[in-house]
Amino acid sequence: MNQVQVAIDGPSGTGKSSVSKLAAKEHGWGYLDTGAMYRALTWWCLDQGIDLTDQQAVAEAGRTFDLRMGTDPSAPSVAVGERRIDAEIREPALTEQVAAVATNLEVRANMRDRQRALMEQLAQETGGVVAEGRDITTVVAPDAQVRILMTASEQARLARRSKELSSTVEATRAQIVDRDKADSTVSQFMTAADGVRLVDTSDLTFEQSLAAVLQIVQEAIDAGERE
């Protein structure tokens, strides 16, 4: 198989980002965190004083901002122009506002184009790409050789996120479950689309989740080589 595109979707706390990074690293491929792109646009709009409820203004900002994604899985980064915003885009106050941007359909259309172009470029440069988000298996790269939906019980997802954020499960629930609900209005990422492999990480260790994803990737590579 010449170039391998791996698309991974799922709700928050299933292990998408951490597993995707290591899977990309394992193969020496590029890594694309599409959620970080929506976060970056949210940061840019807030920085520029753009009202997030002004759909036209946000869409225009999305078309024109100078987004620079660092796609090395060992050190992914996000910048707008020369300004690095890796920490800023993870702030809880920003996280609460991302859904307003991610549910803007004009923004989604533009992000889809940017993401397709980046996936294409990374696959050419490094032989493969792992892209993760909410609509990669269905909208951005429905023809990817590997398509995986990661799921986990709400309980497992909340426990992981609250540990990561050092906050209570209740506070995390407000952030995560409500955001997933808002995001679900524009992308379908709670159940696997046709042909998408399901990896339920509820009862897996992190290493087992990674192994499950790597095995699916390897099966696709082997099948491609036999063709």
Ligand X SMILES: Nc1ncnc2c1ncn2[C@@H]1O[C@H](COP(=O)(O)OP(=O)(O)O)[C@@H](O)[C@H]1O
Please give the annotated binding residues for ATP, written as ranges. Answer: 10-18
Choosing from 5, 9, 10, 162, the residue that interacts with ligand X (CB under 6 A) is 10
Coil, strand or helix: which one is 55? helix
- The item of ligand X, ligand YYY, none sharing an interface with residue 30, based on CB under 5 to 8 Å by kind, is none
Choosing from 1, 3, 18, 112, the residue that interacts with ligand X (CB under 6 A) is 18
C-alpha–C-alpha distance, residues 41 and 21, integer Å: 22
- The item of ligand YYY, ligand X, none sharing an interface with residue 183, based on CB under 5 to 8 Å by kind, is ligand YYY
- The item of ligand X, ligand YYY, none sharing an interface with residue 39, based on CB under 5 to 8 Å by kind, is ligand YYY
List binders of ligand YYY among 88-117 (CB under 6 A): 98-99, 102
Q: What is the DSSP string of 138-205?
A: III-TT-SEEEEEE--HHHHHHHHHHHHT--HHHHHHHHHHHHHHHHTT---SSPPTTPEEEE-TT--
Go through the chain and tell me how many residues it has. Answer: 227
Residue 29 Cα distances to 120, 132, 203, angstroms: 12, 13, 28
Select 65 or 133, whichever has its Cβ closest to ligand X: 133
Hey, which residues does 32 pair with through a beta bridge? Answer: 131
Position of tokens 């990309």?
24
As a whole number of Å, the end-to-end CA separation of the chain is 9
135 binds ligand YYY (CB under 6 A): yes
205 binds ligand X (CB under 6 A): yes
List binders of ligand YYY among 24-63 (CB under 6 A): 34-36, 38-39
Show binding-site residues.
10-18
Select 12 or 145, whichever has its Cβ closest to ligand YYY: 12
What backbone torsions phi and psi does residue 128 show, to the nearest 5 degrees? -170, 170
- The item of ligand YYY, ligand X, none sharing an interface with residue 145, based on CB under 5 to 8 Å by kind, is none
List binders of ligand X among 70-129 (CB under 6 A): none
**Binding region for ligand YYY (CB under 6 A):** 12, 17, 34-36, 38-39, 98-99, 102, 133-136, 179, 183, 187
